[in-house]
Amino acid sequence: MYGAIERPPTPAVTPVRRRALALAVLLLALLSGLLLFHYIAVPATPTSAAASMQEGPESQAMVELHVRPQQLHLAYAGVEPGTAMTVSWTTYHRINDSAVWFADHPFRNTSRLTAHMASVASYYADEHYTLYTYHVTLPHLLPKTRYYYQVGSLHNVTRRSSVYHFRTARPSSDNHSFEMLMYADFGEHNAEGTVSLVSALADRLDFIWHVGDLSYADNAFQALDKDTNALGFVYEKAYNAWMNSLEPTMHHVPYMTTVGNHEAECYSPACVYSEAKQAQLSNFSAFNTRFRMPSAESNGTHNMWYSWNHGPVHFISISSESDFEGAPSNNKGTKVANGHFGDQLAWLEADLKAAVAMRHERPWILVGSHRPIYGLKVFKPTGHPKKKQEAILAAFEPLFLKYQVDMVVSGHQHAYERHLPIANRSPVLDGVSDDRSVYLNPGAPVYMVSGACGSAGGHEPYDGVAAQTWNVMYDNVHYGVSLLKANRSVLSWSFIDAGSGLAVDTFEIRKE
């Protein structure tokens, strides 16, 4: 027989300690229950399509909500500017006969119009929710021409949008000035004024270029109100709400997009603890499904990198998030590798080389990169880049200098920054007026940061940031957007305060 095992004496449990232990167990059970409930049961929308298929006026209205087009947006398309336009929208219930009708005049019915059938894709689904995204590229259009269009079900007219309109891109031969917005870092929080400003400016714009960080759906759980539990799955709810807030502008103003770090994945607790959610929402899947940029026409890759032409400007959208040596991983607790889309730098050099060869038609080259190549927060007081900045500087600046890029616009820093022309960490002052309001024939790219649209994180703190010889100004007080007016000889830039609608900063780049 085995002898008795001696155990150390058990300490006496006092009433106070017993109550504390009981409270701890209760809190742990409550937390586990909340996590389980929100992880399993909380849908991305209040009522799923399946749950709404019941009788009654309220449930019928919910059915119509799920099948009617929403989140309409446009993007330039076609090899030649102005010859095509991509129309995109979403529904919560799959509509297999989705189509677009268009004409060069207003219309009330589509019986005499050609139906252009849509492709449909979905990047995320669970037992409560699926979002379906539709894309149609309308061909054989004329440049700088207004068209009217409608989207929805081929056979059920109640499941269609209203009739909207758009204007196609300008040809390279167009000598008139045009206006566009450029900005980044645009969420739901602290952005109400920006949404209103964008809407107020919309009718004077040719298009909008959003240079990364759309909606902040990936970290929306951090900005929930006190009545919402942060353990819930809110990625899709936040993305859908943000898209719908801008739809009144996006359904008639083309909305070009550049990838940012917040497009990479979902890293809320609900996503981190779900391999299914990680697999579906990683590697920029939502961004590459919801939008359709002209990558095929420019030999680009998905929405990760591509280019297009508009009037006298060649625009290039690059990925500061992937596919160059030392690119950021953008992993925040997930297991899926991001990136690996192809040889971005080889594509970029080929695109720049072709753009330079056409400078007699399009004298300007503008690049959008979400992370700044030059920015006050990513450089040391010595003027050298911080460790993480070295890779992006080494990857892109040599190409920008070699092919004489005119301007590079970024975000990532939640503020506004304007810099001088810069080459190899030094300002190039030739042609810069004493008051820094005019850059005449600048000898290097001009780098801008326009990341002040508004997000849950608020403005970027600049305490302790070292001054740099190449910086003209920074503003981390105002929320706003950047307005660019362009013609063949002048780029006029203004940073517009969302609160007042007034310009906080203005300058010009001139070519003679």
Reduced to 3 states (helix: H, G, I; strand: E, B; else coil), residue 119 is strand
The total domain count for the chain is 2
Q: What is the average per-residue pLDDT within 230-248? A: 92
Same domain, 315 and 352: yes
Return the pLDDT at 4. 33
User: Residue 444 has what DSSP assignment?
Assistant: S
* d(C-alpha 349, C-alpha 365), whole Å: 13
Q: What is the average per-residue pLDDT within 391-403? A: 99
CA angle at 296 for the pair 411 and 285, rounded to the nearest 5°: 55
Residues spanned by the domain of 470: 173-510
Return the pLDDT at 463. 87
User: Residue 385 has what DSSP assignment?
Assistant: B
* d(C-alpha 325, C-alpha 321), whole Å: 11
Whole-angstrom CA distances from 366 to 205, 234, 341, 408 are: 17, 35, 23, 6
Q: Quick check: is 15 in a domain? A: no
Return the pLDDT at 12. 43
Mapping DSSP onto H, E and C, the string for 145-186 reads CEEEEEEEECCCHHHECCCEEEECCCCCCCCCCEEEEEECCE
Q: What is the average per-residue pLDDT within 342-349? A: 99
Q: Collect all residues with Cβ–Cβ distance below 8 Å to 271 and sequence separation of at least 6.
A: 233, 235, 265, 277, 278, 281, 334
Same domain, 106 and 199: no
Task: Write the single-letter amino acid at 493.
Answer: W
* d(C-alpha 134, C-alpha 296), whole Å: 17
Return the pLDDT at 226. 55
Q: What is the average per-residue pLDDT within 144-152? A: 99
Question: Which residues are paired to 334 by β-bridges?
Answer: none
CA angle at 182 for the pair 82 and 150, rounded to the nearest 5°: 45
Return the pLDDT at 225. 63
C-alpha closest to that of 407 among 301, 284, 331, 509: 509
Same domain, 476 and 336: yes
60 — pLDDT class (breaks 50, 70, 90):
low
Q: Collect all residues with Cβ–Cβ distance below 8 Å to 449 and sequence separation of at least 6.
A: 372, 375, 409, 410, 411, 412, 413, 415, 416, 417, 474
Same domain, 219 and 165: no
One DSSP character per residue, 350-367 reads HHHHHHHHTTTT--EEEE
Same domain, 97 and 177: no
* d(C-alpha 294, C-alpha 301), whole Å: 9
Q: Quick check: is 10 in a domain? A: no
Q: Quick check: is 142 in a domain? A: yes
Task: Write the single-letter amino acid at 467.
Answer: A
Return the pLDDT at 428. 99
> Over pLDDT 70: what percentage of the chain?
86
Name the domain boundary from 169, 191, 209: 169
Same domain, 64 and 195: no
Span 349-387, pLDDT tens digits: 999 999 999 999 999 999 999 999 999 999 999 999 999
Reduced to 3 states (helix: H, G, I; strand: E, B; else coil), residue 494 is strand
Q: What is the average per-residue pLDDT within 56-64? A: 62
116 φ, ψ to 5°?
-100, 110
* d(C-alpha 255, C-alpha 506), whole Å: 24
Q: Quick check: is 135 in a domain? A: yes
Same domain, 207 and 261: yes
Within 10 angstroms of residue 398's Cβ, the number of other Cβ atoms is: 13
* d(C-alpha 200, C-alpha 387), whole Å: 41
Whole-angstrom CA distances from 384 to 22, 236, 285, 326, 375 are: 56, 40, 35, 17, 11
CB 214 within 8 A of CB 245: no
Do the strands 364-368 and 407-410 form a parallel or antiparallel pair, or are they unpaired?
Answer: parallel
Reduced to 3 states (helix: H, G, I; strand: E, B; else coil), residue 16 is helix
Within 10 angstroms of residue 440's Cβ, the number of other Cβ atoms is: 13
Name the packing angle between helices 235-250 and 192-201 (round to 10°). Answer: 30
Q: Quick check: is 7 in a domain? A: no
Return the pLDDT at 336. 77
pTM for the full predicted model: 0.89
Same domain, 182 and 113: no
Same domain, 355 and 433: yes
One DSSP character per residue, 277-327 reads HHHHH-TTHHHHHH---STTTTT-BTTTBEEEEETTEEEEE--SSSSSTT-
Same domain, 240 and 387: yes
Return the pLDDT at 231. 74
How many CA within 13 A on the CB side of residue 510?
12
Same domain, 107 and 187: no
223 — pLDDT class (breaks 50, 70, 90):
confident
Q: Quick check: is 11 in a domain? A: no
Return the pLDDT at 83. 99
Q: Quick check: is 154 in a domain? A: yes
Of the ranges 8-12, 13-17, 32-36, 213-217, the best mean pLDDT one:
213-217
CATH of the domain at 358: 3.60.21.10
Name the domain boundary from 169, 200, 231: 169
Q: How is residue 79 written in tokens?
A: 């090899």
Do the strands 116-117 and 98-103 form a parallel or antiparallel pair, or are they unpaired?
Answer: antiparallel
Q: What is the average per-residue pLDDT within 464-474? A: 94
Q: What is the average per-residue pLDDT within 420-439? A: 98
* d(C-alpha 470, C-alpha 463), whole Å: 19
Same domain, 102 and 184: no
Name the domain boundary from 109, 136, 169: 169
CATH of the domain at 108: 2.60.40.380
